[in-house]
Amino acid sequence: MSHPSPQPPQWPLRLLRRYGNPELVEEIQGDLYESFIDRVNHRGITYARWRYVWETLAFLRPASQTHLRVHHPPASRGELFWTYTRLSARYLLKHKAFLLINVLGLALGIATCLAIMHYVRFELGYDTSHVHAQRIYRVSTNIYSDGSEEKVAPAVYGLAPTLQANYDEVEAAVRLVPTTAIIQQKDGTVASEDYFFLADPEIFQVFTHPMLAGDPNKALQRPNSVVLSQSMAKKYLGNAPPTSLIGSHLVIDRQTYELTGIIEDVPKNSDLRFDALLSWEYNPDEWLEVGSFTYLLLKPDIKPEAFAQKLEAFDQKIVAPRVAQDWGTSTITVRHHLYPLTELHYTTNLLGDTEEKGNKSYVYIFSFIALIILIVAGVNYVNLFIAQVTRRNVEVGVAKAMGASQWQLGWQYISECFIITLLALILALAIVLLAGQIFANLLGTPIVWQTFLQSDTVGILLSLVLLISILAGSYPALVLASSRAVVALKGPSFLHRSRGRLRKVFIAFQFTVAISLVAGALIVREQVFYMRHKDLGFQQQEIAAVTIPYDTDGSQKAFAFKQQLQQDSRIEGVAIGSRPDGLWSWSSVSVTAQGQTKTMAANGINVDEDYLQVLQLPLVAGQNFTPIQPQQVIVNEAFVKQASWDDPVGQEVVFSETDKKEVIGVVKDFHFAPLHEHIEPLILFHDTSVGINLLVNIAPSDLEAIKAIWPNFFPNAPLEFEFLDQALDSRYRTEQRLLTLFNYFSGLSIFVACLGLLGLTAFTVQQKTKEIGIRKVLGANRRAIMYLLSREFAVLLLIAAVVATPVAWLAMRYWLQDFAYRTTIGAPVFLWAIGGVALLALITLSYHTLKAAATNPTDSLRYE
Partner 1 sequence: MKGSYLGEFEELVLLSVAMLHPEAYGYAISQTIGVQTGRQVSLSAVHSSLHRLEKKGFLASQLAGATTQRGGKRRRFFAMTTAGKSALHEARQVRQRMWNLVPTIVWESN
Figure out which of the listed residues 15, 18, 26, 394 binds partner 1, where binding follows CB under 8 A: 26
31 part of the interface to partner 1, by CB under 8 A: yes
CB 57, min distance to partner 1, A: 9
Of 484, 544, 515, 520, give the one whose Cα is nearest residue 701: 544
Element (H, E) at 695: strand 693-697
With respect to partner 1, which residue has the nearer C-beta, 1 or 165? 1
Residues in the chain: 864
Figure out which of the listed residues 63, 251, 458, 795 binds partner 1, where binding follows CB under 8 A: 63
The phi and psi torsions of 579 (rounded to 5 degrees) equal -70, 140
Element (H, E) at 420: helix 406-434
15 part of the interface to partner 1, by CB under 8 A: no
Figure out which of the listed residues 12, 40, 48, 59 binds partner 1, where binding follows CB under 8 A: 59
647 part of the interface to partner 1, by CB under 8 A: no
User: In this structure, are strands 682-686 and 659-667 parallel, antiparallel, or unpaired?
Assistant: unpaired
Stretch that binds partner 1, among 52-60, 332-340, 627-635, 783-791 (CB under 8 A): 52-60
CB 81, min distance to partner 1, A: 35
10 part of the interface to partner 1, by CB under 8 A: no
With respect to partner 1, which residue has the nearer C-beta, 8 or 554? 8
CB 757, min distance to partner 1, A: 53
Distance CA 561, CA 548 (A): 10
Figure out which of the listed residues 32, 48, 377, 640 binds partner 1, where binding follows CB under 8 A: 32
236 part of the interface to partner 1, by CB under 8 A: no
Figure out which of the listed residues 35, 474, 555, 716 binds partner 1, where binding follows CB under 8 A: 35
With respect to partner 1, which residue has the nearer C-beta, 27 or 281? 27
Q: Give the amino acid at 551.
A: D
857: how many CB neighbours lie within 10 A of its CB? 17
Stretch that binds partner 1, among 29-37, 127-135, 344-352, 618-626 (CB under 8 A): 29-37
Q: Alpha helix (H) ranges present in 355-405?
A: 360-390, 393-401
CB 15, min distance to partner 1, A: 13
Distances (CA, A) of 733 to 282, 303, 346, 738: 37, 38, 16, 8
Residues 707 and 179 sit within 8 Å (Cβ to Cβ): no
Stretch that binds partner 1, among 22-30, 282-290, 345-353, 527-535 (CB under 8 A): 22-30
66 part of the interface to partner 1, by CB under 8 A: yes
By rule CB under 8 A, what count of residues binds partner 1? 21
53: how many CB neighbours lie within 10 A of its CB? 16
Residues 809 and 830 sit within 8 Å (Cβ to Cβ): yes
Stretch that binds partner 1, among 54-62, 167-175, 255-263, 815-823 (CB under 8 A): 54-62
CB 73, min distance to partner 1, A: 21
With respect to partner 1, which residue has the nearer C-beta, 28 or 753? 28
CB 64, min distance to partner 1, A: 5
Distance CA 488, CA 400 (A): 9
Q: Give the amino acid at 740.
A: T
45 part of the interface to partner 1, by CB under 8 A: no
64 part of the interface to partner 1, by CB under 8 A: yes
Figure out which of the listed residues 3, 27, 254, 313 binds partner 1, where binding follows CB under 8 A: 27
42 part of the interface to partner 1, by CB under 8 A: no
User: In this structure, are strands 155-156 and 659-667 parallel, antiparallel, or unpaired?
Assistant: unpaired
CB 485, min distance to partner 1, A: 22
61 part of the interface to partner 1, by CB under 8 A: yes
Figure out which of the listed residues 6, 49, 53, 55 binds partner 1, where binding follows CB under 8 A: 55
Query: Which residues lie closer than 8 Å to 447 by C-beta, 6 or more apart?
Result: 115, 118, 432, 433, 436, 439, 440
| Cα distance from N-terminal residue to C-terminal residue, the chain | 64
* 561-600 positions binding partner 1, by CB under 8 A: none
CB 402, min distance to partner 1, A: 20
Distance CA 431, CA 452 (A): 13
With respect to partner 1, which residue has the nearer C-beta, 55 or 725? 55
Distances (CA, A) of 400 to 18, 54, 66, 86, 622: 21, 32, 17, 18, 95
67 part of the interface to partner 1, by CB under 8 A: yes
If phi > 0 it is left, if psi is from -120 to 50 it is alpha, else beta; for residue 16 that is: alpha
User: In this structure, are strands 332-340 and 148-152 parallel, antiparallel, or unpaired?
Assistant: unpaired
With respect to partner 1, which residue has the nearer C-beta, 32 or 262? 32
Of 701, 299, 717, 397, give the one whose Cα is nearest residue 548: 717
Distance CA 758, CA 745 (A): 20
Figure out which of the listed residues 58, 426, 820, 854 binds partner 1, where binding follows CB under 8 A: 58
CB 69, min distance to partner 1, A: 9
Residues 265 and 129 sit within 8 Å (Cβ to Cβ): no
Interacting residues toward partner 1 by CB under 8 A: 23, 26-35, 38, 54-55, 58-59, 61, 63-64, 66-67
